[in-house]
Structure 1
Amino acid sequence: MTTPFDLSVEPWISVVCLDGAREDVGLRDVLLQAHEIRRIVGETPPMTAALYRLVLALLHRVYGPARRDDWGELWSAKAFDEVPLDRYLQMYEFDLFHPEAPFLQCSALPEEKGSTVAKLIPHKSVGNNATLFDHTVVSDRVEVPPATAARWLVTAQAFDPGGMKTPYEKDKSSERAPCSSLGVVLVEGRTLKETLLLNAISYDPQVEKPPMTTVEDAPAWERGAPLPTPGSRDPLGWTDLLTWPSRRIRLIPEIVGGEQVVTKVVLTPGMRLKGSLPDLEFMSAFRTPRAANGKINLGTPMLPIRLHPVRGVWRHSVELLLHDPWEEERTRQRPRALKQIAALTEAGYIPDDTVYTLRVFGQKLDKNASVVEGYLEEEVPAPVALIRATDKELAGLIGTTIELADEAGAALRGMQREYHKAMRAEPDVTLDLAYWPVLARPFEVFLRAVNTARVRGTSERNAVAAWRRAVLRIAEDAAGTWTAGVAASDRNLSMLGKQHAVFRNRLSKIARVFDARAAKYLTKDETE
């Protein structure tokens, strides 16, 4: 016999409160206490993103907001209204272990197909899912509390990688879950209430808002338990996609020492997503890749912005933040929440000098996209004045500053590559690690300074000059550290000195070219 575990009231979503305390809350309290909570935080970045998407789907179904005025009322209210939330929660089943409709699961999966619940947790080393840090084997008994199992259940539906799964009948193949290869973007405010509303795009299925949403849209829990056989279909709408059933899953609990725990799981292929992600997914940025010659082929499909283990996501700030009436939706697409924030600022709901944070969540998959090799989370400042801007000069300016970093990084790699080529040795990653991560903070300062200049109507010249100095200094420091390390190994000092000199000359040329490029985009002071 199992004990019900009602996710609407049982504590299972991990949050950080405004006073810094950590606690778990249920679906009801995560909304009703959202004004007292700082943020949702999972065991991994993908889990955090998956939980946000789940709570957003619930918010949409309870509160909309259908129109801008509805959004404004929610924004100005101290807290979310409990009356419509309680009415909604009573209409649907949220029991993790319900016999017919367990939450986000398929009750028809046979229990005898169950194996260790560790299969639900990517960093556990089970079967083909080998990791560097875990030593779990198939024969090991893993027990997890219901709250933990619920979090990993939600994460698996959104982020599970592709590959072979236990078949319900014959079909073993499963495609990657919708978010598995995305950088999921969240606009973060001062409280969880602000964050949820900043990401709550206009939602009204009756008038098919947002685009791709139909009158039949509903999150997974409203549709009841799915059939055990896998399939494929187009999403019915935004909340359908936010809770997409990419896997058929059944958690198998038992009582151990008087406590209910989950020990086994059945994990089989689920629903394959049809359609183009740039047309469906609103919590990510997309861009058309450039050819080897640097040009964009307009017929090439847009690809999602992803996180890189070394190079920061700030390098994609143009795609993440900026609007361009000509390029956007032809060659790049920013998260839809930013378009709404620009409109809300124009309407007076959000001050123009506000700076939010874009928090980006993702994971690194192996070359076969079937094994999770690492978790990734980064942040980028989201200044409202830049989000609202519509001129091409701003995109050109920020794009040029990122090009400066790219070209200086290429000069560093060129120095390293040519030296090791001459010495017939393999280059290491030391230079990248000494260069790219260090640039994140100076770029944040640069973006904030550009935002301030925009709000004040002054030139961005000082911000650009400070960024230029930072990039050149960090590149030279990385080169100096690397050459000192190589020299200490008593290698060919003459060749080392030659390549370092070539690097410095190349860096000087890069700086001169940058000065000319940036000058074309700088706003002039009114006094000039």
Structure 2
Amino acid sequence: MSQEFSFNLVDKPWIPCIKNDGTQVTLNLQQVMSQAHKIRALTGDTPLITAALHRFLLTILHRVFGPDSEDEWAELWEEEMWDMASLNRYLEKWKSRFDLFDAERPFYQSSDDRMKTKSTISLSHDKSSGNNPTLFDHHTEEIGESLTPAQAAHILLTVQSFGLAGLSGISRTFTDGTMASGIIFLVQGNNLKETLMLNMIQYPPDELFQNIHTRDDKPSWEMDNPFNPDRKNPFGYLDYLTWQNRKVLLFPEETKEGVVVKKMTMGPALRYDAAILDPMKNYRIHKKLGPLNYSFSEDRVFWRNSSSLFAFSDDMSKKAVPPATLRWLRHLVKELGIPRRNQTYSTLALGMSKKQAKVFFFRQEQLPIPLDYLTDEILVEKLDNAINTSGTVAFDLVQTARLLGMYQQVSTVEEKGWHKQWAGLNVNAKSAINDWITHTDMERNYWANLDIPFQAFIVELARDEEKALAEWYAQLRKSAWRAFELATQSLGNDARSFKAMVKGESYLRYRLNEVLPKIEKEKTL
């Protein structure tokens, strides 16, 4: 690569930020570190870029500061801003390795003689390339795309972590990057400095990273050859955070608009052991398969699994493994009382839904987290029960929809034995009823009406349990009836439809009174 091109991440603006006053700015690496206490958040163009940027900054902070104990962590927490003398020494020492177009060691890149030059569109998850459908625009492999150096830096970080398994054009295939599956959780503080601290676990991390650590652990840009030895287990946490899943090499060129990147090579590289648990993900425990990461679902927002983030009790730990970042934060709150137990932060859930090397959607969700949930196991149990109750109501709504459908499709419905009658229906009748249930969107409407109320409920439950539960159960009842009303609007005006509505209303009222605390006067449609 010609030395005439240079874009050094240390002193060239490339990191998108929102400052505390709400203004949007693009800063270089040195500015982000020195102004972290004045920055509200990082804002990548996609949730994947946002996650990758945070992991990149955390790697540098771990390398410079550790911290190797809770006391060291507490000292860093109490300081308004980072020790820039230490950070500047590190950035200056490795400055050439942070140059995107360095002639010898371009940042996060390596040549691969096995691979042919192709469009940089193959790096982007939201562009159409190979097996990947277009998500947000109409770029294709044939049309190509042109990246600014800043955009190229974002995508380099992202493709190493979120790259998908698939064919590469040679015998060796691509494998998933470390963040390609599951959900990345980031605890958000009042500014970027707090956010990075809240996600900064002890280093070396010991059991927080399955005791994977060797003296060779370092970020990939410090290694003379990140791919030697070829390995499945990282040297440690820093190696893992900068795991080189691909060999990518960018080819910059000069245009009227300035330096851009249109072409690159990309080949398969390191494959990591899938048994490694990512410290920023949470996992459910499968009886036979062991830990499986929670993933985003098109029809299910994450708050419905949010109690798994606090599965610290003996009973809940058999069902889920919370992120190591939250386990470390719990330790700090219990042992040092910092951050304060009554503090409320939020968690950012970032990731994508994918299957067979195809990306279906990106998602970013935010959820408030009172720190009480980290230490109060009874509180977590009550949260879990409240969420499970909402699921029971959803199940009863679907049953109600099935009953409505049966009254429309079947001449005689056995009022006390309709569940058994359903099992004996012919395929065509069941198909027609299921199609009607899908058409009503009853369950989807029910859950949609709970998304915003849950944000208030999870906070209020930690402050006033009795009030919070009363309001939550009232909201479940209200949302169920609203979903029922919307569904029955698609019924006809004939006698059969009227009977279906009356019977459905009666069944739903009965089930709500069984599941939820009874109220003095139930509504009548």
TM value normalised by structure 1: 0.86
- Indicate the residue corresponding to 2:180 in structure 1: 180
Q: Tell me, what secondary structure is at the counterpart of 1:236? A: coil
3-state SS of the aligned residue for 1:83?
helix
Q: What amino acid is the match of 1:260? A: V
Q: How does 1:283-362 map to 2 (within 5 A)?
A: 283-289=280-286, 297=287, 299-325=288-314, 327-328=316-317, 330-346=318-334, 347-362=336-351
Distance 1:128 1:263, change over 3 A: same
In structure 2, which of residues 386, 389, 413 is the aligned counterpart of residue 401 of structure 1?
A: 386
CA contact under 8 A between 1:109 and 1:250: conserved in structure 2? no
Counting only pairs closer than 5 Å after superposition, residues 340-489 of structure 1 correspond to structure 2 as 340-346=328-334, 347-366=336-355, 368=356, 370-389=357-376, 391=377, 393-420=378-405, 422=409, 424=432, 426=435, 427-428=438-439, 430-453=441-464, 460-487=465-492
Residue-pair matches, total: 487
List per-residue Cα deviations over 1:373-428 (Å, max 9, x = no partner): 11111122211112122x3x333311110111111111222333454574615224
How far the C-alpha of 1:338 sits from its partner, in A, is 1.9
The one-letter amino acid paired with 2:124 is I
Relative to structure 1, is the Cα distance of residues 195 and 489 closer, same or farther in structure 2, using a 3 angstrom cutoff? farther
Q: What is aligned with 1:128? A: 131
Q: Which residue of 2 aligns with 1:55?
A: 57
Alignment of 1:496-515 (within 5 A): 496-511=501-516
Change (3 A) 1:413 1:300: same
Q: Measure how far apart 1:61 and its partner are.
A: 0.4
Backbone CA RMSD of aligned residues: 2.6
CA distance in 2, matches of 1:230, 1:371: 30
User: CA separation of 1:161/1:209 partners in 2, compared to 1, >3 Å: closer, same or farther?
Assistant: closer
- Cα gap change, 1:506/1:154 in structure 2, threshold over 3 Å: closer, same or farther? same
Q: Which has the larger radius of gyration?
A: 2
The match for 1:520 is none
Describe the SS at the equivalent of 2:449.
Answer: helix
Q: Which residue of 1 aligns with 2:417?
A: none
Amino acid at match of 2:476: V
Q: From the superposition, tell whether residues 18 and 488 of structure 1 become closer, same or farther in structure 2 (CA, over 3 Å).
A: farther
Amino acid at match of 2:368: P
Shift of residue 240, structure 1, vs aligned partner: 1.3
Query: Could you tell me which amino acid in structure 2 is paired with residue 318 of structure 1?
Result: S
For the structure 1 residues 320 and 224, does the alpha-carbon distance in structure 2 shift closer, same or farther, using more than 3 Å as the test? same
Q: Could you tell me how far apart the structure 2 residues matched to 1:58 and 1:443 are?
A: 36
C-alpha spacing 1:48/1:419, structure 2 compared with 1 (3 Å): same
Name the % identity. Answer: 30
Q: Tell me, in whole angstroms, the C-alpha distance in 2 between the residues paired with 1:475 and 1:386.
A: 28
Contact 2:403 2:500 in 1 (8 A): no
CA–CA separation in structure 2 for the residues paired with 1:252 and 1:432: 50
Per-residue CA deviation, residues 274-322 of structure 1 (Å, 9 max, x unaligned), is 15133xx110111114xxxxxxx3x541111222233221112221134
Shift of 1:238: 1.1
What is the CA distance between 1:241 and its match in structure 2? 1.3
Q: CA 1:378–1:483 in structure 2 vs 1: closer, same or farther (change >3 Å)?
A: same
Stretches of structure 1 that go unaligned for 5 or more consecutive residues are: 290-296, 454-459, 515-528
For 1:121 and 1:491, how far apart are their aligned partners in 2?
A: 54
Write out per-residue CA displacement over residues 433-469 of structure 1, whole angstroms, 9 at most, x where no aligned residue.
322232122222222122224xxxxxx2222111111
Q: Are 1:115 and 2:118 counterparts?
A: yes
**8 Å CA contact retained: 1:105, 1:248:** yes
Query: Within 5 Å, which residues of 2 pair with 1:73-112?
Result: 73-92=75-94, 93-109=97-113
- Aligned counterpart, 2:416: none
Gaps of 5+ in 2: 410-428, 520-525
Compute the TM-score of the two structures, normalised by the length of structure 2.
Answer: 0.86
